[in-house]
Structure 1
Amino acid sequence: MKKQTSSRLFWIPVCLGLTHWTLQAKLLQPFLIQYRWAHALLFSLIGTLLSMCVAWDQVKTPLMFMYSCFFKPLGKHDNHQSRLESFYQDQASIYDRTRDSLLRGRRTMLKLSAAHLKSQLANGTYGNRKPIWIDLGGGTGWNIEQMNKSLPIDQFEHVYLVDLTPSLCKIAEERFKRNGWTNVTVLCQDASTFQADVPLDGRVQLVTMSYSLSMMDGYFAVVDRVQSLLCADGVVGVCDFYVSGRTSPASERGLAHLRRQCHWLTRYFWQMWFEFDHIHLAPGRRDYLEYKFGTVKSLNRRNHFIVPYLVQIPYYIWLGSAVKNTLASSTAVIDDDIDSLASNQSSPKLAPSTFSALTVAQKNKQWRLDYQPDLPCHTQFRSYIYAFTWEDPRVDLSYLNLSSDDVMFVITSAGDNALEYALHKPKRIHCIDLNPCQNHLLELKLASIASLPYEDVWRMFGDGRHPHFQSLLHETLSPNLSTYAFQYWSQHSDRFSHKFYKTGYSGLALNIFEWWVRMNGLSGQVEAMCHAKTIEEQKAIWLEKIRPCIFSPMIRKILNNPMFMWNALGVPMNQMNMFLQECTTQQYIEDTLDPIPGHSLLSQDQYFYYLCMMQHYHRDSCPSYLTKDGFEKLKTALDVFRLHTDSILNVLQSLPDNYLTRMVVMDHMDWFDPESHDELDDEIKQMARACQVGGQVYWRSAGCVPWYNRLFEKHGFKVEALAIRKSGQAIDRVNMYASFYRGIKL
């Protein structure tokens, strides 16, 4: 190799000498002076020659690839194997070097497959048996070598690579011999009819197809064969090019398939383009795959090959289960504590969005319930509004008096308070949010607590950044995430690359606060206040340095803007009107903030405001799920959660009579218009029906005496004020709301 390199370098001085001689030639000088374009062209040609001399290998490989794929005539062949061999035999030795940027998603598919296998092995799904893996259309064995990085090959009982192309199989055999793997067998046979040395039907834990299903002529037979090979808990992983049909297939309804549909030009162009190489992208292949198997994970991507944003080749990554999960069982009961629903004649009609069968991905962690992600009520949300919960759970818990018999109904928000309640181990916590992204966030927290070590969870949600989040998502978290949440976090994996709490709509307020602090030169004072050692020191910094700047004319003007109040602080117009009937915006903010510095130390107790100022939590000032003790306790309490992506009214209507014992509905009733409150009236009526006698509903409000208190009394609740804020006094560590109420069902 060194000799070849030095021989190429020999030509550099030769070329330079020829260039010098050419420029000095009297015959060419007038021509070059008059025609500057020729001068430039000559230098370009010389530069190209130099590059080719120095790096011929870099030029040779793509040229061979281009010739084999675009120019080489395939000729006529009697069978599929002969055609494949003609196409691949000249490029077998360079196959792996030329496919990395074209065949995207293979690593992700393998990592997801490995993660699910490791999860099953850890749960004892296979007992003492090692898994068997078949890689159909495995080619050069690249997949198996990559899998070894996530799940060592010696952890498999046996691995079979099946491919119809002799030249590629030869490369695979050489690769496996170099690695010393004795439990890997190469079968140069057809994927639909191959035979191993031992019977494999019903014994295989993993089957993968990486850019091979689209090249198989009899794909029906191949998919059917895969189904016959897999054991009951087996997984199939596929990564391939695709084009969508005009409409979504029936198998897709009820599942999260973001960005699956292709533009009409994309559909026709890529299908015709790949047909020249006998690669078939018609949507029927993927549809049949999803028809035969239950979807575990699904990602739809675009490969910006060679020319970014101009060339967009659709490809998908998909994991399926041998156990078919259909939406036909939309009334299947999934809660052990409400298994009497089906026979309860007094119960309202079950809502499919609430009690549909869980996706296969949730067999072990039944948190997320199915919903229709393409409904307008869900698609209006592009992100979560709240990256952190803004209500004080300590006050809630002082009244809730939770026991193991309690069934809770809470608004999800960022999930922090729901996790706080779970530490007291109630029987069930139903988390409800119309915004799917809020449930994606809580689901990520649940999956992280279930499968990650404490330090990784702290880095994600304590520090608000984790440089390896994408790897954790694919290799560890994915088995515990629904396909909805997995797709969302795959698309937004950069959220943990810098400051997580500056994301979402609530992150806008943190960004504005950070800008305002810098503009006023208060960075040092904010830091000092957040780490003050005494209450007196904390109050002095607030009163002397920070408060005078907060209530400046510009800030007052911003706070009086309804658009800012909604987008940055999550305060809708109806809620803003409630407190404006009692005071000005400035007075409301003063009554909120002034008592906080004298309440307790930010670095030890006030994690809400510490987070807003520092964009991360402190080890001594954080929600309980981020403490070491809370984290360990929650690992055994996660099965209490059920996540509903629907409106409060719809979920309430789906619950049986006298089912709930505790409800925490935050401040959402402030959002309703007091002049038109029929929906809220129906909602409170359903609360009364679903609550047991003695059941309790808790709410906060921006008003001292909310107008809807009378609706609770109308529907049989005794309403009592637990706290009403007064100037200079804090009712909790946040002190954002003017009142805190409880309704007890009589």
Structure 2
Amino acid sequence: MSQSTTFSNDPSLLFPPTAYPPRRKSEILKDWLFEKIHGNKLVYNTCWEDPRCDRAMLSIDKDSEIVMITSAGDNALDYLLDQPESVHCIDVNPRQNALLDLKLAAYTSLSWPVFFKIFGEGCLPDFAAVYTLHLRPRLQTASQQYWDRQQHYFQPGRKREGLYFHGSSGLFAWLAGRFMALDGQLRKDIDDLLESRTMEEQQIRYRRLEPRLLSRLLGSRSRQKVSLSMVGVPLSQRQFIEEESGGLRNYVRDAFRHIFLELPIHENYFYRLYLKGRYSKDCCPGYLKEENFELLKSRTKCIRPHTTTVADFLKKNPKAYSHFVLLDHQDWLAANAPAALAEEWRLILANSRPGTRILLRSATSRPETVPDFVRQRTRFRNDLSNVQAKLDRVGTYAGTFLLEVIK
């Protein structure tokens, strides 16, 4: 799933509904591995939501004031292409904000070729010197403390080479790649799939490799639990997946068929990254494209990272914001912190205005995490979300929901 799935995994990020009982001790023990993996780590080295779909649903303009969960910061940067007035990036994990802070520092101090080496390819041979001279002086203190210890992420020639094989989701990508490489023909077929240039060619290639890909990628149920924990999917979302699709294999199979049989893979930078460990210049997020570099460089001050919860941010920074982008963290909160959800929803509504749009995603196709009192003041914009869900290049969410405040 996605960040924080973006902090779908952190108990201190507040949100709630009503129909979910508190976790039993047995459930807490089952989620021990998840909490062990994510306790003090960078979880997401890239965003796992499609900003092209987001921007189509949100209609961002120069008057927009956005509150969103940071994740890896990629989508916040993509939103800047629509030139909003401000983007407040909220995350309870300071490491996620440290990654965004590093990207902001790189915009203000580096050329595009060096910027792309670091965040497009994930490696730079002289990263230590560039970091010391150009990046570190522009970082917040907490970010300095983090990157002082993690510069090896960007060093080439290591066993796990590059940013995108680090962090817990990056470790999963690296392990999955190593495991799939044991089957040389499967690795070749995956590479061929990524180079497909017509939908017919892509469909033929995917159908040929699907059984082997799913078998290698998913394995046993115990391995599936480890894999899901590494990519930021907590127990509560795993339960949604079981209910929604009858198991992870069915869920992933259906998602992959949407991605690989219905959408062109040559522009799908999400899967290229996790299968290759790097972007290419013609298949990468908008924030990495050379033609966008100068515009984004001029607008980085519009992004303001905050290491806190959504609720606490709104208490300290009351305002009528135009957009909230919540990713999928309500899935965790629905099952684990129901007492907190009402407070955050009330704060969101209190800091909205007529027309404010609220975007969230879920492992379930039903918007059960939206309380009744929120529904009374909003309307679901299914006319927008249903269309964009079909175009979403990630395709791993069963539900994409867009609410619009009406009063």
**Structure 1-normalised TM-score?**
0.47
Q: Which residue of 2 aligns with 1:386?
A: 44
* Structure with the greater alpha carbon radius of gyration: 1
Change in CA separation of 1:582 and 1:724 when aligned onto 2, cut-off 3 Å: farther
The answer on whether the counterparts of 1:681 and 1:711 sit within 8 Å (CA) in structure 2 is no
91, 101, 107: which one aligns with 1:449: 107
Residue 454 of structure 1 aligns with an amino acid whose one-letter code is W
**Is residue 602 from structure 1 mapped to residue 260 from structure 2 by the alignment?**
no
Q: Could you tell me how far 1:562 is from its partner in structure 2?
A: 3.2
**Is residue 669 from structure 1 mapped to residue 327 from structure 2 by the alignment?**
no
Q: Which residue of 1 aligns with 2:293?
A: 631
Residue 279 of structure 2 aligns with an amino acid whose one-letter code is Y
Residue 294 of structure 2 aligns with an amino acid whose one-letter code is E
Q: Could you tell me how far 1:602 is from its partner in structure 2?
A: 2.9
**Is residue 741 from structure 1 mapped to residue 398 from structure 2 by the alignment?**
no
Q: Could you tell me how far 1:553 is from its partner in structure 2?
A: 8.5
- More contact order relative to length (CA 8 Å, sep ≥ 6): 2
Q: Deviations over 1:168-210 (max 9, x none)?
A: xxxxxxxxxxxxxxxxxxxxxxxxxxxxxxxxxxxxxxxxxxx
Change in CA separation of 1:654 and 1:675 when aligned onto 2, cut-off 3 Å: same
Q: Which residue of 1 aligns with 2:192?
A: 528
Q: Which residue of 1 aligns with 2:240?
A: 578
Residue 195 of structure 2 aligns with an amino acid whose one-letter code is H
Residue 633 of structure 1 aligns with an amino acid whose one-letter code is L
Residue 742 of structure 1 aligns with an amino acid whose one-letter code is L
SS of equivalent residue, structure 1 residue 644: strand
The answer on whether the counterparts of 2:57 and 2:402 sit within 8 Å (CA) in structure 1 is no
The answer on whether the counterparts of 2:68 and 2:87 sit within 8 Å (CA) in structure 1 is yes
Superposition map of 1:138-177 within 5 A = none
121, 145, 152: which one aligns with 1:463: 121
Q: Could you tell me how far 1:560 is from its partner in structure 2?
A: 7.1
**Is residue 732 from structure 1 mapped to residue 398 from structure 2 by the alignment?**
no
The answer on whether the counterparts of 1:724 and 1:739 sit within 8 Å (CA) in structure 2 is no
Count of paired positions = 361
What CA distance in whole angstroms lies between the structure 2 residues aligned with 1:442 and 1:506?
Answer: 17
Q: Which residue of 1 aligns with 2:75?
A: 417
Q: Deviations over 1:405-452 (max 9, x none)?
A: 110001100011000001111111000000000000001011111110
Residue 239 of structure 2 aligns with an amino acid whose one-letter code is N
349, 354, 359: which one aligns with 1:688: 349
The answer on whether the counterparts of 2:57 and 2:385 sit within 8 Å (CA) in structure 1 is no
**Is residue 433 from structure 1 mapped to residue 91 from structure 2 by the alignment?**
yes
What CA distance in whole angstroms lies between the structure 1 residues aligned with 2:361 and 2:313?
Answer: 21
What CA distance in whole angstroms lies between the structure 2 residues aligned with 1:553 and 1:627?
Answer: 33
Superposition map of 1:486-505 within 5 A = 486-497=144-155, 498-505=161-168
Q: Which residue of 2 aligns with 1:651?
A: 313
The answer on whether the counterparts of 1:723 and 1:739 sit within 8 Å (CA) in structure 2 is no
What CA distance in whole angstroms lies between the structure 1 residues aligned with 2:163 and 2:217?
Answer: 28
What CA distance in whole angstroms lies between the structure 2 residues aligned with 1:588 and 1:525?
Answer: 22
SS of equivalent residue, structure 1 residue 699: strand
Q: Deviations over 1:281-326 (max 9, x none)?
A: xxxxxxxxxxxxxxxxxxxxxxxxxxxxxxxxxxxxxxxxxxxxxx
The alignment yields a C-alpha RMSD, in angstroms, of 2.1
What CA distance in whole angstroms lies between the structure 2 residues aligned with 1:556 and 1:712?
Answer: 43
Change in CA separation of 1:653 and 1:539 when aligned onto 2, cut-off 3 Å: same
Q: Which residue of 2 aligns with 1:716?
A: 377
What CA distance in whole angstroms lies between the structure 2 residues aligned with 1:615 and 1:578?
Answer: 29
Change in CA separation of 1:487 and 1:528 when aligned onto 2, cut-off 3 Å: same
Residue 192 of structure 2 aligns with an amino acid whose one-letter code is A
Unaligned runs of 5+ in 1: 1-376
User: Bigger CA drift: 459-468 or 713-722?
Assistant: 713-722
What CA distance in whole angstroms lies between the structure 1 residues aligned with 2:127 and 2:57?
Answer: 38
Q: Which residue of 1 aligns with 2:359?
A: 698
Q: Which residue of 2 aligns with 1:550?
A: 213
**Structure 2-normalised TM-score?**
0.84
More strand by share: 1
Q: Which residue of 1 aligns with 2:227?
A: 564
Q: Which residue of 1 aligns with 2:172?
A: 509
The answer on whether the counterparts of 1:469 and 1:496 sit within 8 Å (CA) in structure 2 is yes
48, 51, 64: which one aligns with 1:406: 64
126, 138, 147: which one aligns with 1:480: 138
Superposition map of 1:195-594 within 5 A = 381-497=39-155, 498-521=161-184, 522-545=186-209, 547-552=210-215, 555-558=218-221, 561-566=224-229, 568-584=230-246, 585-594=248-257
Deviation above 6 Å: which 4+ runs of structure 1? none
Residue 473 of structure 1 aligns with an amino acid whose one-letter code is Y
What CA distance in whole angstroms lies between the structure 2 residues aligned with 1:405 and 1:504?
Answer: 35
Change in CA separation of 1:452 and 1:685 when aligned onto 2, cut-off 3 Å: same
More helix by share: 2
What CA distance in whole angstroms lies between the structure 1 residues aligned with 2:321 and 2:217?
Answer: 47
Q: Deviations over 1:489-527 (max 9, x none)?
A: 111111101221000011122122212221222222222
Q: Could you tell me how far 1:724 is from its partner in structure 2?
A: 5.4
Residue 710 of structure 1 aligns with an amino acid whose one-letter code is P
Unaligned runs of 5+ in 2: 1-34, 156-160
SS of equivalent residue, structure 1 residue 636: helix
Change in CA separation of 1:656 and 1:383 when aligned onto 2, cut-off 3 Å: same
